[in-house]
């Protein structure tokens, strides 16, 4: 679909879509065309809906992944092919609401302590210490570290927005020691090629290996450290709007999810079991 692909990509560019969004949307249409073996503009609404059902029930894709595919197909048919919403409607899956799994401070400390490789240690500390997304930490440049103002500049984060986040004194000391060992430039963290940023897959593997060494079995990928950053700040008394700014959340509702998992917040709630007007219900020791 050479001409169609070019036309769709142009539609995405003029609307200011990020590179990763463009790639995801183009990939969604390419997947549809490959599944049916013909041009996507010759595939009807019923077939598209059948394809989405195939992704959910047979390929077992996550709800979030299916929603990305649906949004990409919507864009193609409604914007590029100019079919009205009344003529073409793709149902999007509802994503289950799951709370992030958080590591305790002691677990984060153990994760870092068990990581001895300077580059690996530095990237884990930076992700947690600044609350960065995976793509953000991999694309940090030396010039983003401002030791005078003790801030880290995140350039064109999610939503193509710049923001500033924290640079702790301990993290600055670690980054200076790391820089003396590797002298990276312009990217702060690189992979095998010193002239390109570290691949996100490499950073993810670094985290998984660190988890294994630390004996941590819960939680998911390296994004867990960003969740820990927000939750631990909240538990330390930082106000929710400041955390929203540091994380780069567009909506405050996204940030308030951390209220539901902080230890202090849960500790203020008394179980109704403790309020029952009854005596000690402990079972007698077994004979």
Domain CATH number, residue 126: 1.10.443.10
Lowest mean per-residue pLDDT among 116-120, 132-136, 251-255: 251-255
Same domain, 56 and 117: no
258 catalytic residue (yes or no): yes
67 occurs within a structural domain:
yes
Judgement on whether residues 12 and 59 belong to the same structural domain of the protein:
yes
pLDDT tens string 137-193: 999 999 999 999 999 999 877 767 889 999 999 999 999 999 999 999 899 999 888
Q: Which CATH number characterizes residue 56's domain? A: 1.10.150.130
Tell me the β-bridge partners of 190: 197
Helical H runs in the chain?
A: 2-14, 19-36, 45-57, 63-75, 105-113, 118-130, 134-138, 169-182, 200-214, 223-235, 240-247, 252-255, 263-267
Residue 202: its pLDDT value, please? 94
Interatomic CA distance for residues 44 and 228, integer angstroms: 45
What pLDDT sits at residue 124? 96
**pLDDT digit string, tens, across residues 9-33:** 999 999 988 888 899 999 999 999 9
Active-site residue flag, 158: yes
Which residue among the candidates 114, 141, 213, 223 is catalytic per the annotation? 223
Confidence band, pLDDT 50/70/90 cuts, at residue 209: very high
**Number of domains comprising the chain:** 2
Which stretch of 50-59, 158-167, 262-271 has the lowest confidence by average pLDDT?
Answer: 262-271
Q: Are residues 39 and 180 in the same domain?
A: no
Looking at the fold, whether 134 and 185 belong to one and the same domain comes out as: yes
Q: Which of 22, 110, 119, 133 is catalytic?
A: 133
Looking at the structure, tell me whether residues 233 and 180 fall in a common domain: yes
Q: Which of the four pLDDT bands, split at 50, 70 and 90, describes residue 111?
A: very high
Same domain, 127 and 235: yes
> Distance (Å, rounded) from C-alpha 187 to C-alpha 144?
10
Active site residue 133: yes
Looking at residue 86, what is its pLDDT? 47
- Active-site residue, selected from the candidate residues 158, 205, 209, 213: 158
205 belongs to a structural domain:
yes
Average pLDDT value over all residues in the chain: 85
pLDDT band at 264 (very low <50, low <70, confident <90, very high): low
The residues near 131 (Cβ < 8 Å, ≥ 6 apart) are 165, 166, 226, 229, 230, 233, 246, 247
pLDDT over threshold 80, residue 271: no
Residues 55 and 132 in one domain: no
Note down the domain range covering 192: 105-267
Contacts of 247 by beta carbon, 8 Å cutoff, 6+ apart? 131, 165, 226, 229, 230, 255
Catalytic residue among 121, 226, 227, 232: 226
pLDDT at 65: 85
Average pLDDT over residues 127-144: 94
Domain identity same for 112 and 229: yes
Starting at the edge strand found earlier in the chain, the sheet holding 151-157 runs 145-146, 151-157, 161-166
Q: Name the pTM for this structure.
A: 0.69
């Amino acid at each position: 679909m050479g001409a169609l692909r070019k036309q769709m990509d142009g539609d995405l560019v003029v609307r200011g879509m990020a590179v990763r969004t463009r790639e995801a949307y183009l990939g969604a249409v390419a997947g549809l065309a490959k599944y049916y073996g013909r041009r996507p503009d010759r595939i009807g609404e019923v077939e598209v809906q059948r394809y989405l059902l195939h992704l959910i029930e047979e390929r077992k894709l996550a709800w979030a992944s299916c929603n990305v595919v649906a949004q990409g197909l919507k864009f193609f048919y409604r914007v590029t092919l100019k079919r009205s919403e009344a003529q073409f409607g793709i149902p999007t899956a509802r994503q289950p609401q799951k709370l992030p799994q958080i590591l305790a401070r002691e677990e984060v400390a153990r994760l870092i302590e068990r990581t001895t490789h300077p580059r690996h240690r530095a990237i884990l500390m930076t992700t947690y210490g600044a609350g960065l997304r995976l793509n953000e930490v991999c694309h940090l440049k030396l010039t983003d570290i401002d030791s005078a103002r003790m801030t880290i500049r995140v350039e064109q984060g999610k939503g193509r927005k710049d923001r500033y986040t924290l640079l702790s004194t301990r993290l600055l000391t670690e980054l200076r020691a790391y820089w003396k060992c590797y002298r990276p430039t312009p990217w702060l963290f690189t992979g095998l090629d010193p002239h390109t940023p570290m691949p996100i897959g490499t950073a993810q593997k670094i985290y998984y290996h660190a988890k294994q060494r630390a004996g941590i079995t819960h939680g998911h990928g390296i994004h867990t450290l960003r969740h820990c950053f927000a939750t631990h700040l909240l538990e330390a008394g930082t106000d929710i709007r400041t955390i929203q700014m540091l994380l780069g959340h567009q909506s405050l509702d996204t940030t308030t999810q951390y209220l539901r998992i902080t230890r202090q917040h849960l500790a203020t709630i008394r179980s109704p079991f403790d309020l029952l007007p009854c005596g000690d219900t402990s079972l007698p020791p077994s004979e």
